[in-house]
Amino acid sequence: MADAAPAQRGGFRGGFGSRGGGRGGRGRGRGRGRGRGRGGKEDSKEWVPVTKLGRLVRDGKIRTLEEIYLYSLPIKEFEIIDFFLSRSLKDEVLKIMPVQKQTRAGQRTRFKAFVAIGDSNGHIGLGVKCSKEVATTIRGAIILAKLSVVPVRRGYWGNKIGKPHTVPCKVFGKCGSVLVRLIPAPRGTGIVSAPVPKKLLQMAGIEDCYTMTRGSTTTLGNFAKATYAAIAKTYAFLTPDLWKDLPLNKTPYQEYADFLEKTSKTGQRIIEL
């Protein structure tokens, strides 16, 4: 690599020797030879999906992330999340801590990172990763956080003016001994909670919320996970306005009522015998 530069220099000097110390010309020449070669590693490569869902997403057959959630399809490639949300997702490293393991060869230190990711508009994810280097840890944790992104359903307090700002109903999440309950609040209340859940709720896009917590809240990892579980539950509750979207078919009993009548008679006969 160092050889390429002198050769070019010899060539250029004749032509561009007087140009501003030749720094511009030489720099550009080098850039062409070396920079892109090394920089190419950093460029985002074309995503080749390895799962069926990934292929559907890349071909544009899935319009929104919400459709994936509707059909409970497992997301195994973080590029899927990036496809829909990369511009609005912000990650935050909640904590990096060293963990030590005593092995036969001595003490081994690794770094563990807890990362939360969210777009402050209805999506939240949490990831934890342990690795030998800080950089690998953070990158790995961000990927895991992206894979765990869930949709957040929000609601309005009292009247449907402006954007939704609070949780749609009382939900709770549990992890370890920590129980976190989220309770709807009027606009302007803000998030009433300890710092860790507050951060998560903000990143999920919830502006106003009361919380009730029980258990050993000093285990911040469980605290964060319980909050995440509670936020994820907002879509699990069926509220009346969802009922009208579901088609009401005949139940199997209604449809096959005649058939069942016949077989039940048969059943009775067997018993009588």
Partner 1 sequence: MTSAGNDTETATAIQKATAGSSVIGPLNFGKDNEGGNPPPSRLTDDTAVECMFCENVYNFRLGDSRDQYLAHLYMVHRLVIADIGEVECVASYSRFWRDKFREHPMEKYCSALLLNHLPDGTPASNEKYFMLSDIEPLDYELRQRLKREMMELVLARHQFERTDRNFNRGCLYCRDLQAETRAEFLEHLYSKHFLLLGKAENLVFVDELIDAVQEKMENLICLFCEKVFKDRPTLKEHMRKKGHKRINPDNKFYDRFFLVNYRNDRLKKPAPTGKQPVPIRARAKESSPFHSEDSDSDWSDWYGEEQPTTCLFCTVAKGKIDELKQHMKVDHNFDFDGQVVGLTFYQRVKIVNYIRRQMHVLRCVQCREEFPSKDELQTHLREAGHYSTGEQQFWDQPEFFFPTYEDDQFLCHLEDDSPDLSDDSSVVISEKVEAKVNPEAESLSLENFRLD
Q: What residues between 220 and 259 interact with partner 1 by CB under 8 A?
A: 220-225, 239, 241-242, 245
Q: Which is nearer to partner 1, 71 or 253 (CB)?
A: 71
**Is residue 58 a contact point for partner 1 (CB under 8 A)?**
no
Q: Is-contact 207 195, C-beta < 8 A?
A: no
Ranges within 150-209 binding partner 1 (CB under 8 A): 153-160, 164, 166-170, 172, 175-176, 181, 183-186, 188-190, 192-196
Bridge partners for 17 per DSSP: none
Rg (the chain; Cα; Å): 29
Q: Phi and psi at residue 18, in whole multiples of 5°? A: -95, 5
CB nearer partner 1, residue 95 or residue 262: 95
Q: How many residues bind partner 1 (CB under 8 A)?
A: 102
Q: Toward partner 1, which CB reaches closer, 14 or 188?
A: 188
- Type of residue found at 271: I
Which is nearest to 175 in space by CA: 219, 116, 226? 226
Instruction: Report whether 196 contacts 220 (CB < 8 A).
Output: yes
Please report, for residues 78, 131, 168, the alpha-carbon distance to residue 71 in angstroms, rounded to integers and kept in the order given. 18, 34, 21
Q: With respect to partner 1, which residue has the nearer C-beta, 5 or 260?
A: 5
State the minimum distance, in angstroms, from the CB of residue 80 to partner 1. 12
Residue 62 in contact with partner 1, rule: CB under 8 A: yes
Euclidean distance between CA atoms 239 and 244, whole angstroms = 10
Among positions 34, 47, 58, 121, the unique one binding partner 1 when judged by CB under 8 A: 34
Question: Which of 59, 201, 9, 209 lies closest to 118, judged by CA?
Answer: 201
Q: Could you say whether residue 47 binds partner 1 (CB under 8 A)?
A: no
Of 10-18, 26-34, 249-257, 263-271, the window that binds partner 1 (rule: CB under 8 A) is: 26-34
